[in-house]
Amino acid sequence: MKQSARTTILTLWGALVTALALSLSITAPAVALDPGGREEALPTTPPPDPSVPSIGTTVLSDGTPVGIVVAGGNGGLLHVVDLNTRTLRSRERLVPENTDVQPWEFATLSNRHVLLASGGGQLFEIDPDAPEGQKATNLSDPSRPGYEQVTAYSAFLWDVVVDEHDRVYVATQSNHGGHILRYDPSANQGRGQWTDLLPGGVQAGESDVRSLAYDNGFLYAGTGTKNPSIVRINTSTNAATRLAVPSRVTAGLSHLERLQVKAGNLYVGTNVPGGVRPTCGGTCVLDPVTGAQKMKDGKALEVDTWSSQVVTRPGEAEKVYYTVQSHNTPTLQEYDPRTNTSRTLAQGLASTARPSQSSWATHEHFISAGKDDASIAIVHASDGSATGLPKDANGGNAIQGSPRDIQSLTAVPGGDLYASWYMTAPMLLRATPNAQVDKTQYSLPQAPLGQVEGFGHSSKWFVTGIYPSGELVRYEMGASGPTLENHQSVRITPDARQARPYAIVPINDDEFAVGTSPKSKAGSGALSIYDAAHNTIDTYPLDTINYADPSLRGLLSDRRPLSIVHHQDKLYVGTSASGNGMNPDQTEASAPRLFEFDLKTRKVTRVMTPFKDQRSITALTLGSDGTVYGTTGMHVFAMIPADFTIGRSRALTRQGYADANRSQLIERDGVLYGIMAGRLRALSTSLQDEGTVIADFATTPQGKVYVNSLALGADGSLYYARGSRIYRYRFPAG
């Protein structure tokens, strides 16, 4: 990436800070700031309830059918469940700490090994017969032939299927488009071979391939997020054809989450979040060659799955299976496309348990799990019985949660910290620090299900912004912290299109400014004003927001507000570059913006482009001197609100990089403390030097573990996270 000159600041007004003055402001000799404090690691945090998006099954070498249940998180936690006796056989860490394991889908090889496609970007092979500590192998490794050529396409793995030759197909998401990767485990004398099935990606303009299905030499891929489509691929020739799917099937969908193919029928999940009946009742049945909707007796074939997932069963030539609530009872249903009818196979399943494509281990044994509580349902088809797992020897749940990376952190009056994790959970983490670090206490209070993207609080209210529902949840703030027992929520937009409330900043005791990003990877974010007292919200999408000066119209389109400060009836908002800030090569037209929003008129009054080659303005803070300070990860700058100009700037030429993700910045006694390029840095507000890294990322065999989620505690210490651990930086006494 081309690095901008330190002395050049571009604005949309054409105003330039004098190069000589700027140069003098950042090059004067200075001694790097050292606050003189020390870092302390708080005790290990307790994990939340298990995150189990999917499960696998296989049969052990002795013929025992088992479920493979992996609780996602930092290293993952592998559970092997005996489906005959409905008991837990073993529990162990899947892979080493600092490996992001998110079990989105499983498939089974002919040797009975189980493949796990992880949202962390890895494909794991699991041998449940292997000794403890040796069950999992990471196939996404540079030692595997061809992997280095496809690693850029595998930032996130959504789905995995296997053909009759044990060739593995993986659906991916990346900044280089959605791809299908093929892995042949038998190639190169068993060392394997990775290839990109369709070089250039499956569908132009789409960042995801979300779902896969395979049958009789053909692979089916469901894409998203701009124009969801289904592509049919001949795996012998790699010839790809886009199916002519009826528009009603994909209407309102941001992606095609579920595909299944069986006996000449292509099952397509159509579930849209909300309380309305989805298209086809949840699953449409299409012709796998043409994409046309299948008909019987003049009626379209439809399956009332609601959850959109149908699964196949060993020994069944045509029928498929799904779970659904029937008369308020969770049931396992069998659908026969020959008659377009369903019948109940078992009832009394766990209410939150949902099937995975590998749920049937044998014709007799079925297992499903709840995504956010790991409530297990095991069905024996011969008698229609469905039961869960008994408690373990200590009275705890058999399926336990894995440590998870801290994603958001805040400090409240009274001294407590509140945190949330990557991936949804029905709780928050509450920490009560102590001067003696080992006496820190933790609890896990219940909260609405979600992934908290941001926290905000005033003297009266405590607010969380949760994904994927796109809701703000508010609690009353007491003298010692929020009262979590009572809460109210409001959606930022009725359709949950604005799903990630990253920035939540108090305007006064009752009102908050909120910056959100959309659920899909395309489109503009929004700025909202939330009235916590009345639980109402006004939302202004950046592509339609009002401007005081019509000539500015459109300058904020396709951008997301990541950072906000409030100052004298104005909001100052830092955005991503266009296209979610993920393009490493920005221009003046696509660069991130800093804009001023007038709270009285509810209009954008001024806009500037501080740096044309950066990805995002990741953090803003208001200094005690009335100056707005900000960072991009590569630059730190000071903006004078009165004339809306950059007063001074510092390029972080050492250990800096242009970041696309939100971060945090705090001013304390004339010193800026901020997370920049994954490090916690301290530098003077004069910006005369690059400051000092006071908390660096950790380097492990699994990669770097970056610093994130900075908060200033009531005790005056800085708190932040690395992975699943919380740390604090204690300043010298006095």
* Residues 6+ positions from 136 with CB-CB distance below 8 Å: 78, 94, 95, 124, 125, 126
Q: pLDDT tens digits for 3-15?
A: 333 222 233 333 3
For 377, the token pair is 């349902």
The percentage of the chain sitting over the pLDDT mark of 90, rounded to a whole number, equals 81
Distances in whole angstroms, Cα of residue 694 to Cα of each of 98, 246, 655? 21, 57, 13
The residue behind tokens 């069950």 is 135
Q: Report the pLDDT value the prediction gives residue 9, as an integer from 0 to 100.
A: 29
Locate the domains of the chain by residue range: 19-43+402-730, 56-387
Q: Report the pLDDT value the prediction gives residue 521, as an integer from 0 to 100.
A: 67
In this predicted structure, the answer to whether residue 86 has a pLDDT above a threshold of 50 is yes
* Residues 6+ positions from 704 with CB-CB distance below 8 Å: 678, 697, 698
In this predicted structure, the answer to whether residue 509 has a pLDDT above a threshold of 90 is yes
Give the dihedral sign, CA 314/320/323/328: negative
For 380, the token pair is 């024996």
Question: Which is higher by pLDDT, 695 or 98?
Answer: 695
* Mean pLDDT value of segment 378-390: 95
The yes/no answer on whether domain 56-387 falls in CATH 2.120.10.30 is yes
For 174, the token pair is 């990346």
Q: Report the pLDDT value the prediction gives residue 582, as an integer from 0 to 100.
A: 58
- Residue 295, amino acid: M
Band (pLDDT 50/70/90 cuts) for residue 639 is very high
Strand ranges (E), 274-424: 283-286, 295-296, 299-300, 302-303, 320-326, 329-336, 341-347, 353-354, 365-370, 376-380, 385-387, 406-411, 417-421
Q: Report the pLDDT value the prediction gives residue 274, as an integer from 0 to 100.
A: 56
By mean pLDDT, which of 71-80, 393-402, 523-532, 534-543 is the weakest? 393-402
Q: Report the pLDDT value the prediction gives residue 27, as an integer from 0 to 100.
A: 38
For 497, the token pair is 């299109």
Q: How high is the mean pLDDT of the chain? A: 91
What predicted TM-score, i.e. pTM, was given to this entire model?
Answer: 0.91
Q: Report the pLDDT value the prediction gives residue 271, as an integer from 0 to 100.
A: 76
Beta partners for residue 332, in sequence order: 323, 346
Q: Report the pLDDT value the prediction gives residue 14, as an integer from 0 to 100.
A: 35
- The CATH architecture annotation of domain 19-43+402-730 reads 7 Propeller (2.130)
Tell me if 506 sits within 8 A of 512, measured CB to CB: yes
Q: Report the pLDDT value the prediction gives residue 270, as an integer from 0 to 100.
A: 87
Q: Report the pLDDT value the prediction gives residue 31, as an integer from 0 to 100.
A: 53
Tell me if 636 sits within 8 A of 630, measured CB to CB: yes
HSE, side-chain direction, 13 A CA sphere, residue 121:
14
CA distance 212 to 201: 15
Q: Report the pLDDT value the prediction gives residue 20, as an integer from 0 to 100.
A: 32
- DSSP state, 5? P
* Residues 6+ positions from 426 with CB-CB distance below 8 Å: 48, 49, 372, 373, 446, 447, 448, 449
In this predicted structure, the answer to whether residue 586 has a pLDDT above a threshold of 80 is no
Question: Which is higher by pLDDT, 384 or 657?
Answer: 384
Q: Report the pLDDT value the prediction gives residue 717, as an integer from 0 to 100.
A: 97
In this predicted structure, the answer to whether residue 24 has a pLDDT above a threshold of 60 is no
For 710, the token pair is 């900075």
The residue behind tokens 């013929």 is 63
Distances in whole angstroms, Cα of residue 710 to Cα of each of 33, 412, 672, 685? 19, 13, 12, 18
Give the dihedral sign, CA 305/308/311/317: positive
* Residues 6+ positions from 17 with CB-CB distance below 8 Å: 9, 645, 646, 647
Closest to 201 in 3D by CA, of 142, 145, 253, 150: 150
Question: Which is higher by pLDDT, 154 or 495?
Answer: 154
Q: pLDDT tens digits for 445-458?
A: 999 999 999 999 99
Q: pLDDT tens digits for 141-160?
A: 999 999 999 999 999 999 99
Beta partners for residue 491, in sequence order: 471
CA distance 562 to 716: 25
Q: Report the pLDDT value the prediction gives residue 585, as an integer from 0 to 100.
A: 65
Q: pLDDT tens digits for 205-264?
A: 888 999 999 999 999 999 987 889 999 999 999 999 999 999 999 888 888 889 999 999
Q: pLDDT tens digits for 664-715?
A: 999 999 999 999 999 999 999 999 999 999 999 999 888 899 999 999 999 9
Closest to 288 in 3D by CA, of 317, 265, 310: 265
In this predicted structure, the answer to whether residue 432 has a pLDDT above a threshold of 70 is yes
Q: Report the pLDDT value the prediction gives residue 2, as an integer from 0 to 100.
A: 34
* Mean pLDDT value of segment 506-516: 98
User: Residue 279 in 3-state DSSP?
Assistant: helix
* Residues 6+ positions from 70 with CB-CB distance below 8 Å: 52, 55, 56, 76, 77, 78, 79, 94, 101, 103, 116
Q: pLDDT tens digits for 364-375?
A: 999 999 999 889
In this predicted structure, the answer to whether residue 581 has a pLDDT above a threshold of 60 is no
In this predicted structure, the answer to whether residue 323 has a pLDDT above a threshold of 50 is yes
Strand ranges (E), 29-122: 38-41, 56-59, 65-71, 73-74, 77-82, 87-93, 100-101, 103-108, 114-118
Band (pLDDT 50/70/90 cuts) for residue 583 is low
